[in-house]
Chains A and B, each alone.
Chain A
Amino acid sequence: MRTRSQPLDAPDDADGARAAGALHRGLEILRCFQPGESALSTGEIARRLALPRNTARRLLDTLAAQGFLFRVPDSDAFRLHVACFVLGQAVLGNSALVRKATPVLQVLANRHDMHCLLCVRDRDDMLVLAHLPGNGGPNAALDPGSRLPVADTAPGHAWLWAQSSDIQNDWLARLRTMPRGNARVATVYQAFHDLMQDGVCSSFGQWRRDLGFVAAPVAPGSADSAVIACAQASTDPVQRSRFERQWTVALLQAAATIRNEIRHID
């Protein structure tokens, strides 16, 4: 598996930089919608992205003309629209990683009646690419496209553990500046310790009170960002420890299977 980045020239002039900036800002608008948010007003979007209202309006109209947003009739509000779905579906429906990992996670989810996830890192979050709900598990609202913060969830900690020490140090330095910074850093170190010892790490209730994760990197030792995880909607300590014990081996086996499957992907 690969995700190479091309060595890129900087934009050759100020116009080029401005133009690239407009593309960046336009796409940021699509990212500023949160789960459960139906429509956002032009003013709210401008505020979130710190853009002048007129600039926001021009970008919004362009996104709407291209089918990425839908302008709510007779109002100043916009909703996400079909082109976002088509784009995401084009990625998910044709990703070799998703294709190889899905059946492995499906087996895992069915066998243990748990929610299984495939995530990759995207900025400060782990982006869910696949969610296999086990039979009868409560809906954990972790559908593809959902985000789990790197700082506060086991999938994020598992990703960070697989990175170079430079990247780890940058992250830890940033974490220290956040609220409860030292406690967060301590949690990450504990996760690193668990990963070293058992190959998996866990987090319970730090991000969403009712939700726990056990996570393992798919390819530890590589810069690749894929992580698999199981999620459980319970914070009961007895259940939690049973959950961790039960899942460690299964999760590591699944990670090894997926790693083997994706080794030859271009």
Chain B
Amino acid sequence: MNPPSIPTLSSVIRHGLKIARNPVALARELAVFHTFYKVMRLHEFDEEAYLDQNPDVAAAIRAGQEASARGHYIRFGCAEGRSPTRKVDPRVPYRVASRRRRRSQERSAILAEIAARAGREHLYPLLLDIAAGTGDRILKLNRRVVRTAKADPLVTRFNYDARRPEISVIICLYGHPQFLSLQLALFSTGCRLAPVEFIFLNNSAEHGEFLLRDAKQAARLYEIPVTLINVNENIGLAAGNNLAARHATSSRLVFMHPDVFPRDHNWLAKHNEFSATADGRIFGACLYYDDGSVMHAGMYLERETIRYETSKCMDLLRIRHYAKGVPDCVPDAAKTRVVPAITGAFISIEREHFESLKGFDENFVLAGYEDFDLCLRSAAAGQRVWYCANVRLMHLEAQGGARGPDARGASYVNQWLFSRKWLPSLANKCGPLWSRVEQTR
């Protein structure tokens, strides 16, 4: 038998060109190569990491539907593109990291420019520019930043035991990592009575190291199961919350801001009481400032007309809060009722409902308006949003996250996006009296 002849360079190029011209052949070649590559990596298979990164597989194994993690990987995971090893940052090729970084910097620069313009000129031309194309450009850029960063999170769990959490509290950290310990300590007193897990998503990559150490210590010290998810870029609240929700292990999600703290020791009992009712599929709490006045008792929309040079005008939607800054005895704060929306600082939602709504709309850049959007979609899907006056917490508004010029710029883009999405259908549903015609409890 003749030894196989070594192909010449020209024959390889000819073969390559022939395949490249034929898309079907190209796809087949790539699929074969992909499978080969995956099998090559099988020796690196890390069962613990695989289960950490794929909670659905872990659940399937617990339920007895799947025999082993390795088996799942060979039969499905490999083809579905799941990673056989723990995903950590150094594995990301430098090329990808630098491209991601560049996009993220570009996003920040455009947003900061918007914030700067808003400070020195009239809003109308700025909003016109956003509507004319800047907005869509940022959305596209943001989608790509979010997609790359989300594909590569580092998920670490601490202090989980045999008990299955009943509630998953989800918090996105940005800029102030110390809030992780502060919240765990202050929530631990009330959370001893029922198993509650805390899922922190860290949007500031530079604090990842510190948070890994801190979460480990705090989880053990305050006896709370904690999941920490580190991403490489600031993916904002909507995408961050969605990503964290995927790693929740309970059927009830509570989205919180880092500067929310318990005010009553029995907030959890009251919460559980309301979430067990038919109206409790999605609801918000009464939030207070630290001076005792009301910070949040539901939100509504107001139609805002921006006028420019006598003849030009533009309509936008603006979010307003009921009873902000007043004592909690006013009816708006004291009454449990249906409201147009509740703040993202505290949203309690049934996981199934959250998933049926496909989570927060990740088009919203960084933070703002995604909470109202979720509530409107819930109402549109037939599940009205409740404000529960008995569940009381403290929200030290604007303390929990760093707020740079990019965040200020993002609020204009989000307002434009939100208005574009909802103004046509909501134009006559604005104003604080909206809730008066709705049902109260």
**Do the two shown chains form a genuine complex with each other?**
no
Query: Which B residues form the contact surface with A (CB < 8 A)?
Result: none
Query: Which A residues form the contact surface with B (CB < 8 A)?
Result: none
